[in-house]
Amino acid sequence: MPEAFIDLHTHSLASDGTDSPAALVRKAAALGLSAIALTDHDTLSGLEQAAAEAEKAGPELVPGVEIAVQYGAGELHLLGLFVNPNSPGLGAALAEIRAGREKRNLAILDKLKTLGLPLAMEEVRGQAMGRPHIARAMIRRGYVLGWREAFERYLGMGRAAYVPRELPTPAAGIGLIRQEGAIAVLAHPFLSPSMSAPGLDALLARLRSDGLQALEAWHNAHDPEKTRICLDLARKHCLLVSGGSDYHGLNKKGVHLGGGKERVPYAVLEALKNFAAKSGQGE
């Protein structure tokens, strides 16, 4: 019997992907994936459609979400796996996060206007409303030649139009995920080029004390060595492991649903589900 594979980190049109939630599930089915998690940024709005399609198309759906938390001058990303799609508490908290994102976007657009690069909010709204979408609007207007120029000249940290986000602390973000019955996962730790193995070791010690439960070991930004480091550190800190492609459709070229050479085995999801069942998470 062929080995089953999963993808526990994907995005749809509900945030900053380019596939509808239903289309994403159909793609997973066509690829033969046994399970998929929809983890859109700061929203649960795509989960109902994804669940309805999963009932028809076949792959098991893990309802999820991705949120950002403050970490020094930058940010970390957390996944919540097995969220309740109908949770009023989580829904309200995510709405507040989205309101903060829109406030930041307006401030960025104001800065761009003063730089002689006006954009209307309508050119950004409806696409998850973040810096990547502002960058695409800038490209369409001809203000910049491409994504790299947009961030290196205007939108990146410390650049001319940069505005910092107001984010929850790691402890608050983990608490939000856990209090709603989901499993808190640190996403793509090596996505940051400055992250080292000793740095991740120290970070996990801190986040473990804040209630972190799992680490994303497999990710498109992780080569086999980084995956091995994550697996070793997860064992050291008594954390579960997760993994996914971080698929965004056409918005992340070269990132394929289901992952690349190192795909995530179904046994990873089984361990997460067993933990959820024993601890009451994911109910």
In three state form, how does the secondary structure of 68-130 look? EEEECCEEEEEEEECCCCCCHHHHHHHHHHHHHHHHHHHHHHHHHHHCCCCCCHHHCCCCCCC
Q: Are residues 249 and 137 in the same domain?
A: no
Domain boundary among the residues 155, 177, 197 is at: 155
Q: Are residues 15 and 27 in the same domain?
A: yes
Whether 236 has a pLDDT exceeding 60, the answer reads yes
As given in the structure block, the two tokens for residue 156 are 């990146």
pLDDT at 282 over 90: no
Statement to judge: residues 63 and 171 lie in one domain:
yes
Average pLDDT over residues 18-27: 96
In terms of residue numbers, what domain contains 36?
A: 5-94+166-279
pTM here is 0.92
CA-based nearest residue to 226, from 243, 209, 248, 207: 243
CATH code of 45's domain: 3.20.20.140
Residue 38 lies in a domain: yes
Neighbours of 7 (CB within 10 A): 31
Number of structural domains the chain divides into: 2
Q: What is the mean pLDDT of the chain?
A: 92
Residue 161 falls within a domain, yes or no? no
Q: Provide, rounded to the nearest whole percent, the portion of the chain with pLDDT above 70.
A: 96
| Same structural domain, 51 and 188 | yes
Q: What is the mean pLDDT of residues 183-191?
A: 97
Q: Are residues 223 and 120 in the same domain?
A: no
- Each residue of 237-273: pLDDT tens digit? 999 999 999 999 988 888 999 987 779 999 999 999 9
Give the per-residue pLDDT at 281: 56
Same domain as 243, residue 184 = yes
Residues 17 and 116 in one domain: no
The verdict on 88 and 184 lying in the same domain is yes
Band the pLDDT of 280: cuts 50, 70, 90. Answer: low
Answer yes or no: is 222 within a domain: yes
Q: Do 80 and 210 fall into the same domain?
A: yes
